[in-house]
């Protein structure tokens, strides 16, 4: 439906470098990346706020790269929501319909319908100046959805909200998506937004879209070490591979397939099993480890372990942690399947 091909743009000291991705109708595409990755610049290019230096943007097969914003049918919600402060909520939502010369009654009907769906019908006569951040966000979404655009672009829509409100609106956004079935590109630096809303995920760093895929796939198989580190993964090891064996420091690790030469691998902390006794299994890598310290992550405990010269992190449920009575400097056994290892 929307295809971005080799899009590049230089802006002051920053540049977007050959961005490629495609989304389908009804898909919710989340672009995740640290601040300064170029996410907003990419959205602005798709919205038509500026023309890229090279590359193309195709919407339903039509090249819209140089079309002005008003002819694209792509609605844009900037980070501060971009509400028209001199208008009431009703007039904000009705703006796009008035532009399209809908009849007065039809405008009222559509505005009231969308306002009802987003629980803001009681605000229609209020000035937007007097709204809370959460209310402003709903008005901005209503204003975008009511014109039935092909795609809605959302720039960090939850960044101005406190945690409780954000969680509430995240749940509601999932509901609105189901009920209103819109296509969206949502940029954020927050993992929970990506995990709870995204059908598809793109990782953007330093002006490049480094990986695009299903959310689960990107989180479980980050394509590069940089992405893995950005996603918060630990246990990234470097070593020399000879066939299915990786030699790293003083340990031998069995790999899922054959590799040769220097390789980097990542062992997801949630895939490491901890036990008081050695688990014998041919499919597993087993090591004796020392518990250096542990960290409370809420429902999970993160154990920081030393295996010979290597440091590993492992996640354990709080219940298991208490049952096992693990203490610092204690000896435990760690094991992980070779298939759990991700080779970059």
- Find the shortest distance in angstroms from Cβ 270 to other proteins: 40
Residue 176 in contact with other proteins, rule: CB under 8 A: no
Nearer to other proteins, 98 or 252 (CB): 98
Residue 72 in contact with other proteins, rule: CB under 8 A: yes
Geometric angle at alpha carbon 184, from 79 and 215, rounded to 5°: 100
Cα separation of 341 and 285, whole Å? 10
- Find the shortest distance in angstroms from Cβ 48 to other proteins: 7
Helix (H) or strand (E) holding 247: strand 236-248
Q: Which of 23, 45, 75, 215 touches other proteins by CB under 8 A?
A: 75
Site string for other proteins, 304-343 (x = CB under 8 A): ----------------------------------------
Q: How far is CA 17 from CA 1, 55, 86, 121, in A?
A: 22, 10, 38, 43
Residue 154 in contact with other proteins, rule: CB under 8 A: no
Residue 82 in contact with other proteins, rule: CB under 8 A: yes
Helix (H) or strand (E) holding 157: none
- Find the shortest distance in angstroms from Cβ 95 to other proteins: 5
- Find the shortest distance in angstroms from Cβ 45 to other proteins: 12
Q: Helical H runs in the chain?
A: 39-47, 89-99, 104-117, 133-145, 163-180, 191-197, 215-220, 225-230, 318-324
Sign of CA dihedral 235, 241, 243, 246: negative
Q: Torsion angle, CA of 167/172/176/177, rounded to 10 degrees?
A: 30
Site string for other proteins, 27-66 (x = CB under 8 A): -----------------x--xxx-----------------
Residue 184 in contact with other proteins, rule: CB under 8 A: no
Residues that bind other proteins (CB under 8 A): 44, 47-49, 68-70, 72, 74-78, 80, 82-86, 95-96, 99-100, 143-144, 147, 149, 153
């Amino acid at each position: 439906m929307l295809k971005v091909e080799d899009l590049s743009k230089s802006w002051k000291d920053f540049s977007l470098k050959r961005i490629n991705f495609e989304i389908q109708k009804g898909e919710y595409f989340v672009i995740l990346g640290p601040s300064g990755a170029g996410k907003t610049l990419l959205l602005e290019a798709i919205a038509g706020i500026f023309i890229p230096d090279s590359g193309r943007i195709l919407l339903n097969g039509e090249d819209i790269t140089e079309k002005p914003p008003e002819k694209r049918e792509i609605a844009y919600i900037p980070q501060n929501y971009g509400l028209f402060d001199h208008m009431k909520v009703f007039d904000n939502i009705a703006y796009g319909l008035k532009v399209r010369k809908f009849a007065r009654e039809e405008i009222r009907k559509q505005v009231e319908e969308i306002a009802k769906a987003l629980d803001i019908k009681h605000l229609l006569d209020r000035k937007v100046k007097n709204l809370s951040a959460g209310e402003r966000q709903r008005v901005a979404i209503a204003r975008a959805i009511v014109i039935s655009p092909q795609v809605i672009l959302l720039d960090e829509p939850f960044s101005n909200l406190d945690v409780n409100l954000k969680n509430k609106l995240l749940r509601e956004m999932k509901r609105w998506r189901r009920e209103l079935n819109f296509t969206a590109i949502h940029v954020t630096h927050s993992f929970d937004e990506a995990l709870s809303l995204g059908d598809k995920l793109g990782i953007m760093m330093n002006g490049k879209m480094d990986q695009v895929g299903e959310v689960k796939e990107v989180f479980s198989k980050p394509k590069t070490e940089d992405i893995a580190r950005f996603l918060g993964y630990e246990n990234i090891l470097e070593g020399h591979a000879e066939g299915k064996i990786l030699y790293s420091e003083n340990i031998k690790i069995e790999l899922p397939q054959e590799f040769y030469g220097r390789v980097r691998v990542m062992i997801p902390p949630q895939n490491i099993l901890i036990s008081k006794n050695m688990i014998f299994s041919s499919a597993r890598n087993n090591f004796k480890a020392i518990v250096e310290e542990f960290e409370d992550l809420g429902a999970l405990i993160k154990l920081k372990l030393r295996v010979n010269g290597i440091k590993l992190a492992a996640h354990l449920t709080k219940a298991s942690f208490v049952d096992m009575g693990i203490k610092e400097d204690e000896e435990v056994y760690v094991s992980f399947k070779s298939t759990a290892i991700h080779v970059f």
